[in-house]
Amino acid sequence: MKAIGNMKKILFFLLLIQCFAWSTAFAQTTAIKEAEEAYTKEDYNKAIDLYENILKSNGESAEIFYNLGNAYYKAGKIAPAILNYERALVLDPGDTDARFNLQLARQKSVDKIEPVENFFLTDWFDTIQNTAAADSWARIGIVCFIFFIGCVILFFFSRWIRLKKVGFYLGLVLLVMVIFANIFAKNQKDELVNRKHAIVFTPTVTVKSSPDASGTDLFILHEGTKVSVKSTLGDWSEIELEDGNIGWMPSKDIEKI
């Protein structure tokens, strides 16, 4: 009887958890619909507030970041739009809509920074890597490894020469895919965990040669520009631009992606 009573308590507790999950999901769905309606009615500030609240209540979401970026873009707030498109791409690098809208938003920013030209294989590597998120690459790696094991078995135990050759060459291809899938997954995971990039959020800021207001003026940046944060010292951040220029600026003037 005691065991039955404990079982009922466990079931009741599990039911409460499930009900809480259902109510949370329902509330989130309702909030998203309300935000979408506000966006459709061109009440972008209301949509922004609703999407921001959804993120605070439910955590990061590529879809919400993307929608929030759209709302900021329509409201004429370019820096927050770029920030949220970038955050959406960190979670879902293969989102072509977010990447396209990010390029549109960047065209409205003042600073036109030409990235340092990379070796074509590096660009090719990055393009492939950005087609999927870390979890997707991890799953691809696992599937390829399973098939690789099958090819190894085929090579060692098949009596037919043709099947041995198929197992050998296909196994090599799958092994390479496993290696690259794991590299891609690791890189995407590092990008997700270690947020090293940021967006300038002040209209104009002078980048200094040292972490001090009395440092030599190097160049001026405007809101919406993407920077890489190399280090921080007190209230200052050492940043690097896509063209390789380096300097110091107040940490309060940037927002981490």
Q: Within this chain, do residues 86 and 163 fall inside the same structural domain, yes or no?
A: no
- Tokens standing for residue 134: 């870390």
Instruction: Evaluate whether 211 touches 230 at the Cβ level (below 8 Å).
Output: no
- Do 250 and 205 meet the contact criterion of CB atoms below 8 Å apart? yes
Nearest to 102 by CA among 116, 123, 81: 81
167 and 227 in a single domain? The answer is no
- Whether residues 71 and 143 share a domain: the answer is no
Same domain, 201 and 187: no
Q: Which residues contact 212 (CB under 8 A, 6 or more apart)?
A: 236, 248
Q: Specify if 117 maps to a domain.
A: no
Domain match, 206 and 185 both = no
Residue 114 lies in a domain: no
β-pair partners for 226: 199
- Predicted pLDDT at 98: 96
pLDDT band at 13 (very low <50, low <70, confident <90, very high): low
Query: Would residue 61 count as lying in a domain?
Result: yes
Q: Are residues 99 and 142 in the same domain?
A: no
What mean pLDDT comes out for the span 46-71? 94
Q: At residue 69, what is the residue type?
A: G
Whether residues 179 and 204 share a domain: the answer is no
Average confidence score pLDDT of the chain: 88
- Do residues 207 and 186 share a domain? no
Please tell me whether residues 98 and 9 are part of one structural domain: yes
What is the tens place of the pLDDT at every residue in 163-216?
Answer: 899 999 999 999 999 999 999 999 999 888 888 999 999 999 999 999 999 999
Predicted pLDDT of residue 2: 52
pLDDT in tens, 63-110: 999 999 999 999 999 999 999 999 999 999 989 999 999 999 999 998
Confidence of residue 120 (pLDDT cuts 50, 70, 90): confident
Closest alpha carbon to 144 in 189, 101, 185: 185
Q: Which of 146, 166, 191 is the last residue of a domain?
A: 191
Q: Which pLDDT band holds residue 20 (cuts at 50, 70, 90)?
A: very low
Of the candidate ranges 1-10, 83-92, 146-155, 210-219, the one whose mean pLDDT is the lowest: 1-10
Give the model's pLDDT for residue 192. Answer: 84
Looking at the domain assignment, is residue 120 inside a domain? no
Give the list of residues 6+ apart from residue 84 with CB closer than 8 angstroms, or none: 65, 66, 68, 69, 72
Which residue, of 107, 137, 154, is where some domain finishes?
107
> What is the 3 state secondary structure string of 18-79?
HHHHHHHHHHHHHHHHHHHHHHHCCCHHHHHHHHHHHHHHHCCCHHHHHHHHHHHHHCCCHH
Residue 236 sits in a domain of what CATH number? 2.30.30.40
Most confident segment among 23-37, 108-122, 123-137, 220-234: 220-234
Residues 6+ apart with CB under 8 A from 154: 163, 164, 166, 167, 171
The domain boundary, picked from 172, 191, 210, lies at: 191
Write the CATH number for 28.
Answer: 1.25.40.10
Q: Which domain holds residue 136?
A: 128-191
Q: What is the pTM of this model?
A: 0.81
8 with 82, same domain: the answer is: yes
The domain tally of the chain equals: 3
Please report whether residue 119 resides in a domain.
no
Direct distance between the N- and C-terminal alpha carbons of the chain, in angstroms, rounded to an integer: 56
Asked if the structure places residue 113 within a domain, the reply is no
With 0-12 CB in 10 A as exposed, 13-18 as middle and 19+ as buried, what is 34? middle
Q: What pLDDT is recorded for position 22? A: 42
Regarding whether 91 and 145 lie in a shared domain, the answer is no
